[in-house]
Chains A and B, each alone.
Chain A
Amino acid sequence: MSKTPLWLKILAQGSAGLVLAFLCLPILAVIPASFNKASFIALPPLAYSSRWYEAFIADAEWRNALLASLHVAVIATLVAVVFGTAAAMGLHRADGRWRSLLTGLFLAPMIVPVIVTAVAVYRSALDVGLSGTPVGLGLAHALLALPFVVINVGIALRGVEENWLRAAAGLGAGPWTIFRTVTLPNITPGIVAGAIFSFITSFDEVVVAVFLAGYANKTLPVKIWESIRLEFTPVVAVAATLMIILAVVLFALAQFLTKSAGRRTA
C-alpha cells in the first residue's frame, strides 16, 4: 500500500471523520440544552436563559448532591492513592509469580462487572452498617479507583533507576530517606495522575452509588439518575454540563502532568 489510491484515502478520512463526529458531538448536546428558557428540554432551545443554573444553585438538594459527591470523591481518592501507591511499589519489588498474581488481584475490580461489585458491596455494607454513609461509598469507590493508581504509579516507577536507589543506599540513606528524596519526587506525577483518575472515577460513578448512597447521601450522579427518571427538566442538563466541565479540566491537568513528567524522565 505504498501508493494508497486517492479514493481510498478520501473514503478512509471521510468515514473516520464521521465516526469521530459521532464520538464527540453528541456529548455536547447537554450544553445548549442546559440554557433552555422553557421548563422542558428543547434542542436547539427556543429561547436561551441561565435560569436553570440559578435553579440548580438555589435548590438545596442539588447543592447537597454536589457536596456529597466531593466528600465521597475525596475519601475515595485518599484511600486509593495511599493503598495504591504502596501496592505499586510493593509490586515493583516483588518477583515473578507473586507479581502477576497480585497484579491480577489489584486489577480485578476493573474486570468484575460493576453491577456485580455493586450488589456484593451493597450487601456487605448493609451487614456492617456502612450503607448510606459517605465513608461506605468512599471505600467502595476506592475499590474501583485502586487499579488506576496501581497502573499509573507502576508506570512512573519504571522511570526510577535501580542505580539511584543503590547510590542513595551506598551514601548511607535509610529506606524512608531514599523514598522521600529519590523515589517520591520521581513518581509524584504518576501519583497525581492516579489521584486525578481516582477522583473522576468516584465523581462519575453511578452504579455502586445508586445502591450505597442512601437517602441522605445522594451524590450528583445519583441525583441526576433519579431526576432523569422522574422529570426531564433542563436542570439535569445543568448538572451534566458541570460534570463535563469538571472532567475536562481534571483530565487536561492529568495530561499536562504526565506529559511534563515524560519529558523529564526521557
Chain B
Amino acid sequence: MKRRHIETLLLLAPAVIFLGLAFVAPLARLFSLAFTDEAGMFSTFSTLIDSEVYRRVMVNTFLVAFAVALITVLLAWPVAYILTRLKGFWFAFALYGVLFPFWISVLVRTFSWMILLERNGPLNRFLINIGITDKPLSLLFNDTGVMIGMVHVLLPYAILPLYGAMLRIDQRLLLASDGLGAGLFDTFRRIYFPLCLPGLVGGATFVFLLSLGFFITPALLGGSNAITLSMLIASFINDRLAWSLAAAGSLILLVIVLALLAVTARFLPFGKGVYAR
C-alpha cells in the first residue's frame, strides 16, 4: 500500500512541479507587481478605476461579452436542436460542421473575417448588390466586427452544452405533455425550455467567460476603436512598459473570471471530453 502511494506521488510530481514553476509562480510574481507600485500599495487599482478611459474599456468589455453570449445562445439553439433530431450521415455532417471551426486557429479565422468584412470586401458588395445599402457599411474596426468574429469563434462552445442538455431530455415527457392536451408552445415553455436551461446557462457562461479574456479577435477586428480589457493589458506592457498596471488589470480580469466560475461551476462541462481539444 505504501509503495503504491510513492508511485502515485512520483507520477504526479513532474507535472505539479512544472505547473508550480512555469504557471503558479509566474502568476504570483505578476500579481505581486500590482501591489508594489511606487505610488502606494493599491495605487494601480485606483488608477484603473478612477480613469474615465479605463472604466469605459471595462464597461465595453462587459457589454461586448454579454452581447456575444446572448447572440451565440440564440444561434446555438437551432443547431443543437437539429443535432438531437438528425441521424446517420446528416448527423455526422452537422456535428463536423460544428467541430470543424474548433480545429482552425483563431488567428486564421479572424483573418478570414478581415477579408470578408473589408470596406470593399465580398460582404459589402453583396449587401449593395441586393440593395440593402447603397454605400459600404463599416463592419471592421468597430464593435460590429468584434462581435461577428467573436460569435463565430465561440459559437461551438454554446452549441455543445446545449446539445448535451437537449439529448438528456426524456422524450416521453414531451409525449405526456402532448397527451395531456398541452399545445406546442405550452410544452416548450413548461417542459422543454426548463430542461434545456442547464445547458443554456452553461454554454452562455462559458462563452461570456471566454469573451472577457479574448485578445486576438478584438485586437484585429476592433482595433483602437473597440478596446477590451485584454488589449489594454497588452498595451500597458508593449506601449508603456507599465508592468504594475498590467498586473493590476490581469488580476482584476482573473478575479472576475474565477468569481463567475465559482457561481456557475455546476453548469459547466469541464472534463466531459467534449472539450477534449
CA distance A5 to B187 in the complex (A): 14
Q: Tell me whether A193 is interfacial, beta carbon within 8 Å.
A: yes
- Complex interface residues of chain B between 230 and 255 (CB less than 8 A to chain A): 230, 233-234, 237, 243, 246-247, 250, 253-254
Interface size class of A (residues with CB under 8 A): 35 or more
CB-defined contacts of B11 to chain A, threshold 8 Å: 86-87, 89-90, 93
Known: A24-B100, A79-B18. A228 touches B220 (CB 8 A): yes
On whether the beta carbons of B250 and A120 are closer than 8 Å, the reply is yes
Known: A82-B14, A123-B29. A106 touches B19 (CB 8 A): yes
Known: A1-B192, A197-B276. A175 touches B108 (CB 8 A): no
CB-defined contacts of A206 to chain B, threshold 8 Å: 105-107, 216
Known: A16-B78, A83-B14, A106-B19. A204 touches B152 (CB 8 A): no
On whether the beta carbons of A113 and B230 are closer than 8 Å, the reply is yes
Interface size class of B (residues with CB under 8 A): 35 or more
On whether the beta carbons of A23 and B112 are closer than 8 Å, the reply is no
Known: A23-B100, A113-B253, A228-B220. A123 touches B30 (CB 8 A): yes
- Complex interface residues of chain A between 12 and 33 (CB less than 8 A to chain B): 12-13, 15-16, 19-20, 22-24, 26-30, 33
CB-defined contacts of B98 to chain A, threshold 8 Å: 20, 23
CA distance A207 to B213 in the complex (A): 11
Known: A29-B116, A30-B115. A1 touches B178 (CB 8 A): yes
* SS of A interface (majority): helix
CA distance A5 to B152 in the complex (A): 30
On whether the beta carbons of B174 and A2 are closer than 8 Å, the reply is yes
A99 → B minimal CB distance (Å) = 10
CB-defined contacts of A20 to chain B, threshold 8 Å: 79, 94, 97-98
Known: A5-B184, A119-B30. A109 touches B81 (CB 8 A): no
**Number of A-B contacts defined by CB within 8 Å:** 245
Q: Tell me whether B212 is interfacial, beta carbon within 8 Å.
A: yes
Interface flags for B10-39 (1: CB within 8 Å of A; 0: not) read 111011101100110111011001000000
The 3 closest A-B pairs by CB, nearest first: A113-B213, A90-B11, A90-B12
15 additional A-B pairs beyond A91-B12, A143-B22, A204-B108, beta carbons within 8 Å, are: A19-B79, A23-B152, A26-B112, A87-B11, A114-B213, A115-B250, A117-B27, A119-B237, A124-B29, A146-B19, A151-B275, A193-B276, A200-B103, A228-B111, A244-B105
Can you list 14 residue pairs at the A/B interface with Cβ under 8 Å? A1-B178, A26-B116, A29-B122, A87-B14, A113-B254, A115-B215, A115-B234, A120-B29, A123-B30, A124-B25, A143-B23, A148-B276, A154-B271, A228-B220
Report which B residues bind A (CB closer than 8 A): 4, 7-12, 14-16, 18-19, 22-23, 25-27, 29-30, 33, 75-76, 78-79, 81-82, 85, 94, 97-98, 100-101, 103-109, 111-116, 121-122, 152, 155-156, 174-175, 178, 184, 187-188, 192, 212-213, 215-216, 220, 230, 233-234, 237, 243, 246-247, 250, 253-254, 257-258, 261, 270-271, 273, 275-277
